[in-house]
Amino acid sequence: MVRNDPDPYLVLGVSPNATQAEIAHAYRSRLRVHHPDTRHTSSSQEGDERLRQVLGAYALLRDPARRAAYDRATILAATPPVESSLGPMQAAHPSAGSVQIPITYGGNKASADRFSAPPLRAGPVRRHR
């Protein structure tokens, strides 16, 4: 099954060079808007989907290693392969060869799937005055 999740930077409304503090602030703002206790939409299914997108985007961007891997994959996917003098089949692009690099999270080997971390749970929203 192929997942077509939106860009996590667009979901949170931050730029790709945002700091961790900016990402956390944007996450809390979006969570407040889309949380079931505070949202004003009539469609709960649409609101739940938006909440899932916000939680998934923050789960990806809060971890510096996962964020860096996502950024590298996005840059590689957007960069067209460059043909070298060796012919069209052997491009000079780094992704031309098949290299398997193990990805570790917290010292444990994990699959390269970006959704392998446990999901975030949204708790009650606290309002500060």
CATH of the domain at 86: 1.10.287.110
83 pLDDT tier (thresholds 50, 70, 90): low
Answer whether residue 35 is part of any domain: yes
Q: For residue range 28-82, what is the model confidence (pLDDT) as tens digits?
A: 999 988 888 887 766 778 888 888 999 999 999 999 999 999 998 888 787 776 6
Answer whether residue 23 is part of any domain: yes
Question: Which domain covers residue 37, as residue numbers?
Answer: 8-110
Please give the pLDDT value at position 33: 87
pTM score: 0.57
C-alpha neighbours within 13 Å on the C-beta side of residue 116: 12
Q: Which amino acid is at 77?
A: A
> Which residue from 48, 11, 51 is spatially nearest to 31, judged by alpha carbons?
51
d(CA 109, CA 91): 30
Sign, Cα dihedral of 89, 90, 92, 95? positive
The mean pLDDT value of the chain amounts to 75
Question: Treating both helix axes as pointing N-terminal to C-terminal, what angle do 20-34 and 44-61 enclose, rounded to 10 degrees?
Answer: 170
d(CA 116, CA 95): 23
Answer whether residue 118 is part of any domain: no
The domain tally of the chain equals 1
Answer whether residue 127 is part of any domain: no
3 state DSSP class of 53:
helix
